[in-house]
Every structure is written in structure tokens, then in C-alpha cells.
Amino acid sequence: MYQFNQIPSKAQIQKQIRRIVFGKEVYCPVCKTRRVYKTQERYRCRKCRIRFSLLSHTWLSNMKLPLQQFWLVLWCWTIQIPVKQGVKMTKLSELTVRHWYEEFRSHIPENEDILEQFVQLDEAYFGGRKGRALFLGKQVGSRKLAYQILSHTNPNREHTWKFLHEYVAPDTVLNTDGAAIYKEINQWWPVYHNRDIHKKFEFTHTSEIEGMFGVLRTFIRRMYHHVTVAKLPSVVREFCFRFSHAEMLDSPYEYLLITLRLVPTR
């Protein structure tokens, strides 16, 4: 069933997961002692007697797929195999593939970049009248992005201010289009603001950010076909993370390295 060279053996996967979660030597996730022993697929602590597995104290504790199949669906997601094609490759149902893609998205770390120097900011709308407005900012000439999703499609200057306050450093040169929500925004947050009022200048001042919206829409269509407003936040987060930190999604190993941790226990 697993004809893909990219999928390691079960033992190799276990070894990689063990290294990511525990480092050199397995220890008890509850009392931290290294006095543990292995029984078949699981471990047992000699001190506090709990049983655990490599994944039992991580966000993958409820993962029921065989390891190689799990690795395959994760591999498909990391290299941006569209859902439909992922179904064919993994032999899982579309529901299951969508579920796992969603899980993978939702465990991507939150982006905490602050944009500075030269920034382009624009907004786009998703999901029609009852949809969402998305602010997206890009530091010009870099791979730094920041975004904010509103619960409606009626942004005003206060929303713009909130975005700037949270994601844009003071004294930044800010380029926006001529929309009213950006009007005199430099009186709300200390930026040097260039606002394109004439159509002919728009391309020069906001071309990078408008390009990003195009790439985002293409990404959604290609990878997921469509996205509901409920799933928009995690899809946008995935998109931005892929753009800013492509190297962290090079392989299932790289992805698990940044997302898989022992969850603190009581």
C-alpha cells in the first residue's frame, strides 16, 4: 500500500518521533524519571507506574492511524498535495484527509512578527455578505506578513488602528490604497502614510500586497477547493506560515519538530 519512497519504515518513524518528543532518552512524561521500561509498543514508569507511548502525552494522543499512513498524510500536507489528490494517495476518506489537514494547520505556531520599515497593508473579503474581512500586511522586500480577520465585512478605521497597533512598528512607512478606512490613519498610529488616491499610482504602492491576495486565493482553491468562514483563520495562518517559514514545512520531520511537545500533566 505504501509505495512512496518518501515514507520511512515504521521503526524509522518511531525513532524520529522519539527523538523529537524525548530527545536522547525516553523519560516518564509525568514524573520525569528515566527509570522506564518498554512493553511492546508502550512504556511504563517504574516510579509512578503510569503507562505511556511516544505520542500519548502530545497533541497526537488520539491519533489512530498506522504510523506510516499518518506520515503519508502529513507528508502530503507539507508538500501541498490538494485534498482530493491526498485522498487517492493515502486511501483515506476525504473527511479524514480534511480532518488531518485541519489538525496540521491548527498546530502551526502563531506568527508574532512585527512589521517595520516599509509596509503595505490592504484588506480583502471572503465568504460573501456574511463573510469576513481580512487585513493583510507585508513588509516590503521581505517574507514577513501579519494578518487579522474580522468577524464581519465592515471594517472601519478603528479596525485599521487595531491592526497597526498590534502588528506594525511606530515610524514605519505605510502604503495603502485610497479606501476610507485608511484615511488620516497617521493621526491614529505614528506611521508615514502614503495613500493611493489616483488609480494610476495604486500599482506602485500596494502591488506586493495585492499580489499576496491573489496567491492566497489560488492557494485556497488549489489545496482545499473552498474554505468556510469557520476555517478561514487556520487556512490563512497556514498560508502565511508557508510564505514566511517555508523551510519549517520541508518534511513531516521538520513540521513535527516545531509542533510536537510533551503536554504538561497534572
Q: Which residues bind Zn ion (CB under 5 A)?
A: 28, 30-31, 45, 47-48
> To the nearest whole angstrom, how small is the minimum distance from the Cβ of residue 42 to Zn ion?
13
Q: What is the DSSP letter of 111?
A: P
Cβ proximity to Zn ion, 28 vs 168, nearer residue: 28
Q: To the nearest whole angstrom, how small is the minimum distance from the Cβ of residue 33 to Zn ion? A: 5
* Identity of the residue, 30 or 248, whose beta carbon is nearer to Zn ion in the bound complex: 30
- By beta-carbon proximity to Zn ion, the closer residue of 27 and 241 is 27
Helix, strand and coil content of the chain, in percent to the nearest 5, comes to 45, 15, 40
**β-pair partners for 188:** none
In the bound state with Zn ion, the residue whose beta carbon lies nearer, of 30 and 124, is 30
**CB-wise, 35 or 152, nearer to Zn ion?**
35
Contacts of 13 (CB under 8 A, 6+ apart): 67, 68, 71
CB of 36 to Zn ion, least distance (A): 7
The one-letter code for the residue type at 98 is: R
Nearest to 168 by CA among 205, 206, 120: 120
**Alpha carbon separation from 27 to 20, 22, 152, 157 (Å, rounded):** 13, 7, 48, 53
**Closest CB 19 distance from Zn ion, rounded Å:** 20
Least separation in angstroms between residue 264's CB and Zn ion is: 14
Residue placing its CB nearer to Zn ion in the complex, 47 or 84: 47
| CA–CA distances in Å: residue 68 to residues 71, 87, 109, 243 | 5, 15, 24, 27
Q: Is 247 helix (H, G, I), strand (E, B) or coil?
A: helix
Identify whether the C-beta of residue 205 lies closer than 8 Å to the C-beta of residue 196: yes
CB of 57 to Zn ion, least distance (A): 11
In contact, 71 and 89? CB cutoff 8 Å? no
